[in-house]
Amino acid sequence: MELPTFEVKKRSRSTDEGDDGDAPRPRSRWQRPALLTALVAGALLIDYRRRRPTPPPPPLEPGQILTCGLRHRHIWPFHNPPEVASDLVVSLTTLPQRSETLPLMLRSLAAGWTVPRAIYVVDGGDHARPSVCPSYLSRHRGRHTVDVHFVRAASDRGPIEKYIGAEAAIRATRPRGHPTFLLVLDDDHVYKRWMVQRYAAALRAEPDTVFTVQSPPSQFFGWRPRFNIAYGARGVGIRTDLALDGALAAYAATASRLEPTCRVVDDIVVSAFFASQKIAVRDVPGFSFENRPWRHNNQIRLISKQHALRSDKRDAQNARCHDALVPRSVATRGSEPSSDSADDTSPGVASRRRRAARHPRARAAHAKHRRGRARSVG
């Protein structure tokens, strides 16, 4: 029996069979290089579109408000949820060169034992923030988030916008539940967890007092303040109607006309305003210059050194603005004594007053002493 034989054809690399299997079709030698070229071109196009700088979003218009959400750093089940101070909001100003320090400051507030009801970040002039939420914030707000309102001020009046620039935003975002207290902070500090809690407790106990952390006399170089200084970097707690009633804005405008340096040293202007209005400025109970409500951060130090966020001329600027505003604050308050007031506050005069109130002869002697002192001063 004869077995069938089969003829095996070797397939050439340079030819392909047609659809009918009979007619060979030659393969182009450019097919593979063209495919590789197309793949490389597609990869380069994708990489170019990825690296191409996208146009920045338009900035906020004057008076426009952008609201984002800042998530609490410690929430259940790992930690107890923080207490929300519903009667307190935080206000601050920022600059483009501090875009790296602002997230650190906001996250330190979100990690506190007590968080504010809302945070207002005020920008003014040509350096307003874009109309989209930054990457470290969320567009969605919920139970475990703090509302962060980016506010475009109508005009750029300097760092004092942290006091007066948030007025319209607070009234627009809180038309019914107007906050009672305002806590003013800086955007280049990291604060401790119990800072908001202690400020809120102090303001609730004494709402007519301004609370801050003052410097000891040894911290002033070349000048001595005639009134208590409220430093925004360390926190200034104040009742809302004291800062947002329009009187502070008018006082700041007058101070800028008297001394142009006052436009950049808002701490001196605000403190002089408090002195002229006879508003007491005190330290927060439990806080002092040694026990500070802020803590040092190496990352912020490095950023400040690179971008020169803190000016070496600030102490001289504070002194110039202070000397220009002393007649308008201390003299108005009456703490710069005249000849009669100095006589009235001395211990000897106080004892003579008490004797004069008890005996007519002592009253006559006290009046004679005052007339003689007036002639000697004149």
DSSP track, 66-90: EEEEEE-SS-TTTSPPPEEETTEEE
pLDDT band per the 50, 70, 90 thresholds, residue 90 = very high
Exposed, middle or buried: residue 115 (CB in 10 Å: 0-12, 13-18, 19+)?
Answer: buried
Residue 328 lies in a domain: yes
Q: How far apart are CA 231 and CA 227, in angstroms?
A: 12
Judge whether 13 lies within some domain: no
- Which residues neighbour 207 within 8 Å (Cβ) at sequence distance 6 or greater? 180, 181, 239
In a domain, 135, yes or no: yes
pLDDT at 282: 92
Q: Is the pLDDT of residue 366 over 70?
A: no
Please choose, from the candidates 193, 72, 173, the residue with its C-alpha nearest in 3D space to the C-alpha of residue 122. 173
pLDDT of residue 312 exceeding 70, the answer is: no
Mean of pLDDT values over 199-215: 92
Same domain, 234 and 259: yes
Can you spell out the DSSP letters for 289-321? SSS-SEE--HHHHHHHHHHT-S-TTHHHHHHHH
29 within some domain: no
279 with 353, same domain? no
Contacts of 245 (CB under 8 A, 6+ apart): none
* Domain of 356, in residue numbers: 339-373
Q: Are 220 and 360 within one domain?
A: no
CA distances to 338, 340, 344, 355, 377 from 365, in Å: 22, 16, 15, 10, 19
pLDDT at res. 183: 94
Shared domain check, 351 and 301: no
- 1 within domain boundaries: no
Residues 227 and 367 in one domain: no
Distance CA 29, CA 31 (A): 6
**Do 265 and 367 sit in the same domain of this protein?**
no
In a domain, 345, yes or no: yes
Q: What is the pLDDT of residue 293?
A: 84
Note whether 230 and 289 are same-domain residues. yes
Evaluate if residue 138 carries a pLDDT over 70.
yes
Token pair 């001063």: residue? 377
Contact at 8 Å (CB) between 270 and 163?
yes
Do 353 and 269 lie in one domain? The reply is no
- For the chain, the domain total comes to 2
Can you give the CATH number for the domain in which 126 is found? 3.90.550
- What is the rounded average pLDDT for all residues in the chain? 76
Higher pLDDT, 360 or 251: 251
Q: Are residues 213 and 294 in the same domain?
A: yes
Residue 21 has pLDDT above 60, yes or no: no
Could you tell me if 182 and 235 lie in one domain?
Answer: yes
Q: State the pLDDT at residue 49.
A: 75
> Is the pTM here over 0.75, yes or no?
no
- Residue 55 placed within a domain: no
pLDDT at 17 over 60: no
Question: 192-196, 221-225, 323-327 — which is least confidently predicted?
Answer: 221-225
Confirm whether 4 is domain-assigned. Answer: no
Task: Say if residue 263 is in the same domain as residue 139.
Answer: yes
- Do 176 and 273 have their domain in common? yes
Percent of the chain beyond pLDDT 70?
70
48 has a pLDDT exceeding 50: yes
Tokens standing for 93?
């100003």
Report the distance separating Cα 191 and Cα 116, nearest Å. Answer: 13
Q: Which residue in 224, 188, 195 sits closest to 212, CA to CA? A: 195
The per-residue pLDDT for 355 is 47
Q: How many CB atoms lie within 10 A of CB 256?
A: 18
Least confident of 56-60, 327-331, 370-374: 370-374
